[in-house]
Chains A and B, each alone.
Chain A
Amino acid sequence: MSSTSQKHRDFVAEPMGEKPVMALAGIGEVLGRRLEEKGFDKAYVVLGQFLVLKKDEELFRDWLKDTCGANVKQQGDCFGCLKDWCDAFL
């Protein structure tokens, strides 16, 4: 990874368990709240969506943008975070 945030590293370091959706890299308070309103209240639910979209970057980015209005950077951070987590634990 060229430049990953501390949040990313923290998330990828261990199984996500019951971590809230705001633990994902790129997802702060605002986006987290929007995701929770749509029913994605835990990180693993977003993981579920990520997997249903076959871990495809474009699809996941589009979905994230549609669902909570994430910008390009946030989309990328979240995608990268989940992807790395899957590489490590899935």
Chain B
Amino acid sequence: MSSLRSKSAQDISDLLDEYGIKHGPVVDSTRSLYERKLKEAMAKGKKGKASPDKTYYREEEEEVTYEYRTPVRSDGAGDSGSYMRSRPEWSEREFEHETSYSSYLRSKPEYRGKDFVDEPAMYDTPSTYRHSYLNSTPMKSQDAPKAPKSSRLIPLWVQFAFFLAVAVFLYLVFSNMETNESLKGIE
């Protein structure tokens, strides 16, 4: 690759036209920009456009989701297979969650961006759970080799403890609301 620096402005201009790069006059202030563009174009041209268009999954929860579900989905071979296997495990949680937490969790969208997305996705509706589950499924193969470590801002047990604490609290509030009547209906 001959040095672009030594080329005349006209040469640079011609090279830019060759590579089909739209450009203005090659003056002092634009020269380095055009040299860089030509360098990139040449590199691309030789390799036959091997553009590293990695789709970075910036959402950490995708990785975390798999980290958490690894014990459940040890195989991960077929989508439907593992999906049905882990479903009864989560259905229990869903049951107690849907009773009192759907409204609570809906008001906490901030967790979605962190590790907590596991739980809210299930609390809302079974269909939402299914959706997020399938969403994360195709990415598993790509995420598993990528970054196996899961960085949790809040440890999972803390989240569960907090969740249960709020559940108990809400139950107490609800059960204490009707002091005049008997508590039969609540049971």
Contact = CB atoms under 8 A, between A and B. Distances in A.
Interface string A63-83: 100100000000000000000
Interface string B23-41: 1110101101100110000
Interface residues of B, number: 11
Interface string A32-68: 0000000000000000010011101011001100100
A54 B24 CA distance: 6
Given A63-B30, A66-B32, A52 B37 contact: no
Contacts of A54: 22-24
Contacts of A59: 22-24, 33
Nearest to A62: B33
A7 to B, nearest CB: 24
Given A49-B29, A62-B37, 5 more contacts: A52-B30, A54-B23, A59-B23, A63-B33, A66-B32
Interface of B: 22-25, 27, 29-30, 32-33, 36-37
In order of increasing CB-CB distance, the 6 nearest A-B pairs are: A54-B24, A63-B33, A53-B24, A52-B24, A49-B29, A52-B30
